[in-house]
Amino acid sequence: MPAIVVEGLERAFGEVLAVQGIDLQVDEGEIYGFLGPNGAGKTTTVRMLTTLLLPTGGSASVAGHDVVAEARQVRSTIGVALQEAALDPLMTGRELIRLQATLQGLPPARGRERADGLLERVGLSHAADRRVGTYSGGMQRRLDLAAALVHEPRVLFLDEPTTGLDPVSRKTIWEEVRALNDEGTTVFLTTQYLEEADQLADNVGIIDSGLIVAEGTPEALKEEVGNPHVELLVGEGAVAEAERVCAALGKLLPPKDGKRVLLEVANGAADVPRVVRALDEAGIVVESLELVRPSLDDVFVAKTGHHLEKEESAGGDEEPVGA
Amino acid sequence: MEATTAMRTSPPAWRANLATIAALMARAKNELIRVPGAAIPGVLAPTIFFLGLNGVFGALTQLQGFETGSYESFIVPVSMLQGAGFTGAAAGVNLARDYEGGWVDRLLVSPAPRWVLLTGGVLAASLRSLVPATFVLGIAFLLGAQWPGLDGLVVCYLMVAATAAVAACWGSMLALRYKSQSAAPLMQAGMMALVLFTPAYAPTELLQPWLEKVAEINPMTQVLEAARQGFVGDVTWADTWPGLVAIAGLLAVLGALALREMRRTNV
Amino acid sequence: MSDLASTARVVRALGARSIRQTFRRPQLISPIVVFPTLLLAVQTGGASAGVELPGFPPVQSFLQFMLAGAMMQSMMLAGNSGGIAFAVDIEMGFTDRLFAAPIPRFAIVLGRLAGTAALGLFASIWFLVIGLVFGAEIEGGVPGALLAMALVTASALAVGGIGAAIALRSGSASVVQGLFPLVLVVLFLSSAFFPQELMIEPAKTIAEYNPLSFIVEGVREPIIAGIDATHTLEAVAAILGIVVLGLVLSARALRHRLRVG
């Protein structure tokens, strides 16, 4: 049974259609990466799937329960770590996890046991009795993740879990997400980082302006937009000769500068020895060679006509979230 | 339907609900205990009003129609109810703050029934209101307010705690509707009006006709009269039951409205 | 453009900003309008029988007597709100942007005070209109109303100076917000709500020397009796005293802020 099924899901805020009738399916045990720039509709979608926002059209079910008609069953099944890492600075980490256990209806003894285990798991045992207000950003995200796991949810929603974190904290969260997934938890992860989706997700949905513009495994999506290419740096004066040799091997791509030759290779790494041999036979010295695969950004550009990460650095528009 | 691990090991629903209410009350307690000086504004405001009104309007007891010559005794239940109104409305402000910070989402995505989530905050406000009430009462006794008798004191405290619950429902309703602390003045002003558009400053017959009419239909008048009876005379059932009915009605209406807003947060 | 003209422009722009800021934030406007109006209604409706007490000055109605008190309350809270908004600006770094601009430093404080004074003027008009609508007469006529408005505006400027000084010194909105109860204490310990002679000790004695009592009587006299030189001069003297205090405190706080950064 699929863990999440979304059909024609829509959400309007007045005149603005934040999510414009999306379809998607997430299989049990999968990590689904929901990729898009700020304001694309990611958070609105997550809020609908987690019962925090009513859809204005279409339907969605999580773990077999409709998010509108069976909201309570959905809530029992899911774990949620939302963008703001909503934590009470006056509580200690341990108190917070225990409160979450109570909210999820766990008996007190089980709540205590889970709190100890989860704090250990996310590396916060040493800080368990400190107030959350004294935690660093990375520690707060890990605590938020632990709270989301207290009732062993079947489906875990993580809304931009690493936004604003330093690279080390980001890697820690990634490792934890992978480990959870290995234990069988389905993960629905929104992100605006290409690398995050590429590293973690089994399947990726790309959303832009409220519409899903592409969906599939990261590999399949990248293949869809084109073949990999080799980027050759050759000695000065050898560029023209190298281009002549390479032209016989495949399609030359428009050069970036006067020093490099870009050659598309249909078979990827398997074509590299052939290229090196041909250049060697022609007496051309290769200073460096790099096999470049299409990135998810290339996919994004191909589907939307603009870059994802450039928009992110520009800040983008905030997405309405129902307030 | 496939049961989740959590559902399989769950305690009975009533026990889980009680545990959740207790846990939310414990969290609310942090505001008072872990923030240095947090209790001061809640205590200070009704105390200043009590001392101020007493100093300014104390001479009113010379007028015919006052049941008591002690304005401290007459005004202290008003200040206690006002303190309860402030405290309850503050629970609404805190809820709005929690909404802005995303904390309320944490509560809303849990499977706990919505009324349970609301009750935690409301009961915490009720208990918390006893702090300013007791402080103001202590000062009033020092200034010579009449001892209301044990029965009068119990009725007064009951009305104070219930008024705080009413105010918390009112504040929570606005917090959940506007999802912003900008609604705070409305929460405070609403409760101030409810408590003061009564025979707060003088007996009904000394009020201006328009206020007399407003006070007549304001259910808080019955609540104030019940809370005040021991301080200005004897405690009687005739003066108590209308207060009980009025406060129960206010609680039922505002509680239902707050719950309705809580159920509508995902709209 | 001359320096003076450019400074005046800065003061006007900052004053306009502070007025807009107040009207756009319910937390700032409601203490100035909603709460004093509510209290005026409650006190007028509840304590109006007080006019029958022996010693109460001759008035047309208790509402007429209370108007000056409501204006004082509104004016004091406008000063407090102005201080809070100024402290928020400091917390958010907005004043750093202003301090870094090539404008005289005092113009920044004056701009904030101009906004507070305008709110004082607004409060006086608001309560005069309420009084007139509900039947209170202004015995001093138009000149009396203008005098009351001028005194309330000037006292808003004076009280705002103290609020700004505390905001500059502390740089914390919660510290200025914490003065709110103090504002109430000063009000209750003045003749804002009842004749001083009829108040209960010790409030009665304190009210006799409270500068706010002099201002409130200066505003009240043209409303309940007519313009009177003694009351007016006493009110002006009290306002000047507060202005000097506010100026000294503001200048010191400004120097402190620029020194500590």
Q: Which position has the higher pLDDT, C226 or C28? A: C226
Give A16's strand partners.
Answer: A13
C216 reaches B (C-beta below 8 A): no
Residue A139 near residue A94 (C-beta atoms within 8 A):
no
High-pLDDT (> 90) share of chain B, %: 48
Q: How far apart are CA C186 and CA C189, in angstroms?
A: 5
Long-range pairs for A110-117 at CB < 8 Å and ≥24 separation?
A110/B9, A111/A150, A114/A150, A114/A151, A115/A150
A154 reaches B (C-beta below 8 A): yes
Q: How far apart are CA B105 and CA B98, in angstroms?
A: 9
B6 reaches A (C-beta below 8 A): yes
Q: How far apart are CA C216 and CA A103, in angstroms?
A: 55
Is the link from the previous residue into C202 a cis peptide, with omega within 30 of 0?
Answer: yes
In sequence order, what DSSP letters do the residues of C32-57 get, joined into one string? TTHHHHHHHHHHHHHHGGGGGSTTPP
Q: How far is C188 from chain B (nearest CA, A)?
A: 5
Note the pLDDT tens digit of each residue in C36-67: 998 899 889 888 888 888 888 888 889 999 99
**Does A86 contact B101 at a Cβ distance shorter than 8 Å?**
yes
- Structure confidence at residue C33 as a pLDDT band (50, 70, 90): confident
Residue A216, H or E segment:
strand A211-216
Q: CB-side exposure of C124: number of CA atoms within 13 Å?
A: 24
**Does B211 contact C46 at a Cβ distance shorter than 8 Å?**
yes
**Closest residue to B201, CB basis, from C25, C43, C52:** C43
Q: How far is A129 from chain B (nearest CA, A)?
A: 14
Q: How far apart are CA C115 and CA C21, in angstroms?
A: 10
C47 reaches B (C-beta below 8 A): yes
Residue with token string 């804002």? C192
Question: Rg of chain C over CA atoms, in angstroms?
Answer: 19
Q: Which of B105, B119, B264 is best to mutate for the A interface (most A CBs within 10 A)?
A: B105
DSSP summary character for residue B202: S
How many beta carbons lie within 10 A of that of residue A83, not counting itself? 20
The pLDDT of residue C21 is 77
Q: How far apart are CA B226 and CA A193, in angstroms?
A: 63
Question: C179: helix, coil or strand?
Answer: coil
Give A186's strand partners.
Answer: A155
Nearest to B77 by CA among B142, B144, B127, B152: B152
- Structure confidence at residue B4 as a pLDDT band (50, 70, 90): very low
Q: What is the mean pLDDT of residues B78-94?
A: 91
The pLDDT of residue B266 is 76
Q: How far apart are CA A201 and CA B119, in angstroms?
A: 41
**Does C184 contact B49 at a Cβ distance shorter than 8 Å?**
yes
Question: A289: helix, coil or strand?
Answer: strand
Q: How far apart are CA B251 and CA A35, in angstroms?
A: 47
Note the pLDDT tens digit of each residue in A263-290: 888 888 888 888 889 888 888 888 888 8
Q: How far apart are CA C180 and CA B41, in angstroms?
A: 9
The DSSP bridge pattern shows strands A286-292 and A155-159 to be: unpaired
Nearest to B60 by CA among C126, C47, C138: C47
The pLDDT of residue B32 is 77
DSSP summary character for residue A135: S
Q: How far apart are CA A291 and CA A272, in angstroms?
A: 8
B131 reaches C (C-beta below 8 A): no
High-pLDDT (> 70) share of chain C, %: 98
Sign of CA dihedral C207, C213, C217, C223: negative
**Does C187 contact B49 at a Cβ distance shorter than 8 Å?**
no
Structure tokens at B182: 């900008």
Q: What is the mean pLDDT of residues C192-203?
A: 88
- Closest residue in B to C56 (Cα) is B59
Q: How far apart are CA A59 and CA A64, in angstroms?
A: 12
Angle at B199 between CA B193 and CA B73, to 5 degrees: 110
The pLDDT of residue A322 is 41
Q: Which of C134, C197, C200 is best to mutate for the B interface (most B CBs within 10 A)?
A: C200
Q: What is the mean pLDDT of residues B40-55?
A: 86
Q: How far apart are CA B101 and CA A88, in angstroms?
A: 9
The pLDDT of residue C261 is 59
Question: A263: helix, coil or strand?
Answer: strand
Q: What is the mean pLDDT of residues B49-73?
A: 87
B12 reaches A (C-beta below 8 A): no
Question: Rg of chain A over CA atoms, in angstroms?
Answer: 24
B55 reaches A (C-beta below 8 A): no
The pLDDT of residue C2 is 64
**Does B106 contact A108 at a Cβ distance shorter than 8 Å?**
no
How many beta carbons lie within 10 A of that of residue A106, not counting itself? 26
Question: C212: helix, coil or strand?
Answer: helix
- Ranking A26-40, B32-46, B193-207 by mean pLDDT, the lowest is B32-46
- Residue B135 contacts by C-beta under 8 Å, 6 or more apart in sequence? B43, B47
**Does B101 contact A50 at a Cβ distance shorter than 8 Å?**
no
With contacts defined as CB-CB under 8 Å, which chain B residues touch A84? 101-102
Q: How far is B23 from chain A (nearest CA, A)?
A: 6
Mean pLDDT, chain B, integer: 88
DSSP summary character for residue B205: G
Q: How far apart are CA B184 and CA B95, in angstroms?
A: 10
- Structure confidence at residue C260 as a pLDDT band (50, 70, 90): low
The pLDDT of residue B1 is 40
- Residue C204 contacts by C-beta under 8 Å, 6 or more apart in sequence? B55, C196, C197
- Closest residue in C to B214 (Cα) is C45
The pLDDT of residue A74 is 92
- Closest residue in A to B266 (Cα) is A53
Does the global pTM surpass 0.90?
no
**Does B109 contact A87 at a Cβ distance shorter than 8 Å?**
no
Q: Which residues of chain A have pLDDT under 50?
A: 310-323
Q: What is the mean pLDDT of residues B229-244?
A: 92
Report A:41-80 residues touching B (Cβ under 8 A): 47, 50-54, 63-65, 71-73, 75-78, 80
High-pLDDT (> 90) share of chain C, %: 28
Structure tokens at B247: 């406060």
Q: How far apart are CA A90 and CA B35, in angstroms?
A: 8
**Closest residue to A72, CB basis, from B5, B111, B180:** B111
How many beta carbons lie within 10 A of that of residue C118, not counting itself? 19
How many beta carbons lie within 10 A of that of residue A268, not counting itself? 14
**Strand residues in A28-173 grouped as ranges (E):** 31-35, 57-62, 65-66, 78-81, 155-159
- Closest residue in B to A106 (Cα) is B10
The pLDDT of residue A316 is 36
Give A191's strand partners.
Answer: A35
The pLDDT of residue C79 is 87
Alpha helices per DSSP H over B34-148? 39-57, 71-101, 103-108, 114-128, 130-142
With contacts defined as CB-CB under 8 Å, which chain A residues touch B16? 102, 105
Angle at C11 between CA C94 and CA C157, to 5 degrees: 95
- Closest residue in C to B62 (Cα) is C53
With contacts defined as CB-CB under 8 Å, which chain B residues touch A103? 20, 23, 106-107, 110-112
Note the pLDDT tens digit of each residue in C170-191: 887 777 877 777 888 888 889 9
Nearest to B129 by CA among B87, B70, B96, B99: B87
